[in-house]
Every structure is written in C-alpha cells, then in structure tokens.
C-alpha cells in the first residue's frame, strides 16, 4: 500500500522559499535602518550644537613656551600632553586617548609637546584651545611658563615673561561671555591660576552653562550637594 501524504490546501498566506529570502532581506534592511537611525552617543551632537569655549594664551617671548591645564568642577584635571592626546598636524584636531575628555571635539594650535612651537606673530607667541560642547560647570585654567634656556643662560637669573589670556564661551543659544586676564609677568616654571576679569567682576573660574534639552553623555554626573 503506497503511502500518500495529504497535501494541505493552497493557502494565500503560504510563502515560497524565494518569498522568504526576499522578504527576509527587505525586513532586515528595514530593521537595520530603524536601528541605525537611533540616536547614538557620537552622532547625536554632530553639527547640531554650537556651544564652545575658546582659550587663548599670548606671551611676549618667541623663545619661551606656555601651556595650560584644565580643571573641571567634577575634579577631573586635564593636561594637554602627548600621553593623553594626539593632535592631527594638518587640522589641529585633538584626538583623546583617554575616555570622556569633557568635550565633544577640540582643536589646538601652538602646543609645544605635539612637535609644534608656540604660534608666532612677530615677537609674540600664543597657544589656542577651542572646545566644542564642553561639559557644563565651573572650569579653572592654569598657565605655566616652560622656558627653553640656552646653555650659557642656565645659571643666569630667570627672566619673567609678560603674558595675557582671553577666553570666550558661547552657550549655543544667546549668551556670549568674554573673559580676560590683563598683562602680567610669569617666571619660568611657575604655574598661575588664571584670574579672569568679566563684566560681572573677577573670578578664577569660567562658568559654562548646560545646553538646553541635550544630555552630554561624556560629562561626569554632577555631585549632589551634601
């Protein structure tokens, strides 16, 4: 007796192998587009925000170098060294080797430890740091004079160098704050905390406001007041 398999009646919902493959690819692509268009950490802020903080340090000596250090109110202290950062010599883009560098992207010019000398303009030299989307909070900035003395000058009395600093913070909406440190002298090896003069008075801190309706995922969570 021959075995006969009972074939199911043809259904309009039946899928052929080709239907399955084709539908599968279509659906997979569709789902991929949904996943890919979700807001992720890196792409969320690209080009969308215009908050920035820019710091200029200018000094009257082409032979000396000055550097800055950033301290955020969260306790994070950042020195712009080749250990923690890499600079693109063509664009000045600062690529961090550390996690969460407290900003979305940064550009620098005239930092000696990246193989550059300070930027030169006649007898003046300068360094510049521009941070895009810096973390909100209070920032303290210090400046240090690194002198490259000639051999015969090692035993001579260190010569102070006059410098001044400016900073501009734009909150991305309307407020544009300018800070400045008037000319003052600094000796080799000395680190100064920059005391900024603003329209509201003198302060050792730069106040960066939080962006409206945007969470910066790379920023430390603010500590709750005890």
Q: Is 3 in the site for other proteins (CB under 8 A)?
A: no
Residues 148, 63 contacting (CB under 8 angstroms): yes
Q: Is 207 in the site for other proteins (CB under 8 A)?
A: no
SS3 content of the chain, % helix, strand, coil (to 5): 10, 40, 50
Closer by beta carbon to other proteins, 62 or else 160 = 62
Among 59, 85, 114, 179, binds other proteins (CB under 8 A): 114
Closer by beta carbon to other proteins, 176 or else 226 = 176
Closer by beta carbon to other proteins, 50 or else 81 = 50
CA nearest 196: which of 53, 50, 77, 92?
Answer: 53
Kindly tell me the burial class for residue 77, based on how many C-beta atoms sit within 10 Å of its own C-beta (0-12, 13-18, 19 or more): exposed
Number of neighbouring beta carbons within 10 Å of residue 86? 12
Backbone angles phi, psi at 6, to 5 degrees: -85, 115
Q: How far is the CB of 34 from other proteins (least distance, A)?
A: 8
Convert residues 124-163 into a mask of x (bound to other proteins by CB under 8 A) and - (unbound). --x-x-x-xx------------------------------
How big is the site for other proteins, counted in residues (CB under 8 A)? 58
Q: How far is the CB of 115 from other proteins (least distance, A)?
A: 4
CA nearest 143: which of 108, 80, 72, 192?
Answer: 192
Q: Which of residues 38-67 bind other proteins (CB under 8 A)?
A: 40, 46-52, 54
Q: Is 32 in the site for other proteins (CB under 8 A)?
A: yes
Q: What is the CA radius of gyration of the chain?
A: 28
Q: Which of residues 165-194 bind other proteins (CB under 8 A)?
A: 168, 170, 172-176
- Could you tell me which stretch among 66-74, 91-99, 141-149, 197-205 binds other proteins (CB under 8 A)? 91-99
Beta carbons within 8 Å of 217's beta carbon, 6+ residues apart = 41, 44
Q: Give the distance from CA 154 to its chain's centroid.
A: 37
Give the helix ranges, DSSP H, for the chain.
17-36
Closer by beta carbon to other proteins, 25 or else 183 = 25
Residues 185, 164 contacting (CB under 8 angstroms): no
Q: Is 123 in the site for other proteins (CB under 8 A)?
A: no
Residues that bind other proteins (CB under 8 A): 5, 7, 14-17, 20, 23-25, 27-32, 35-36, 40, 46-52, 54, 88-93, 95, 104-105, 107, 109-110, 114-117, 119-121, 126, 128, 130, 132-133, 168, 170, 172-176
């Amino acid at each position: 007796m021959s075995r006969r398999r009972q074939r199911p009646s043809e259904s309009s919902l039946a899928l052929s192998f080709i239907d399955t493959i084709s539908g599968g690819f279509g659906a997979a692509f569709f789902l991929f587009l949904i996943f890919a268009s979700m807001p992720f950490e890196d792409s969320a802020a690209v080009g969308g925000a215009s908050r920035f903080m820019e710091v200029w340090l200018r000094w009257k000596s082409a032979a000396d170098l000055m550097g800055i250090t950033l301290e955020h109110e969260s306790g994070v202290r950042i020195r712009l060294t080749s250990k923690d950062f890499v600079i693109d010599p063509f664009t000045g883009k600062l690529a961090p080797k550390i996690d969460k560098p407290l900003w979305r992207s940064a550009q620098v010019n005239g930092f000696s430890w990246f193989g550059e000398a300070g930027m030169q303009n006649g007898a003046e030299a300068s360094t510049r740091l521009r941070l895009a989307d810096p973390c909100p909070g209070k920032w303290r900035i210090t400046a240090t004079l690194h002198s490259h003395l000639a051999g015969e000058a090692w035993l001579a009395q260190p010569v102070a160098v006059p410098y001044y600093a400016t900073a501009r913070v734009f909150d991305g909406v309307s407020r544009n704050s300018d800070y400045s440190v008037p000319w003052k002298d600094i000796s080799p090896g000395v680190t100064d905390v920059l005391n900024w003069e603003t329209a509201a008075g003198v302060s050792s801190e730069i106040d960066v406001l939080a962006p409206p309706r945007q969470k910066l995922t790379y920023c430390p969570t603010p500590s709750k007041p005890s």
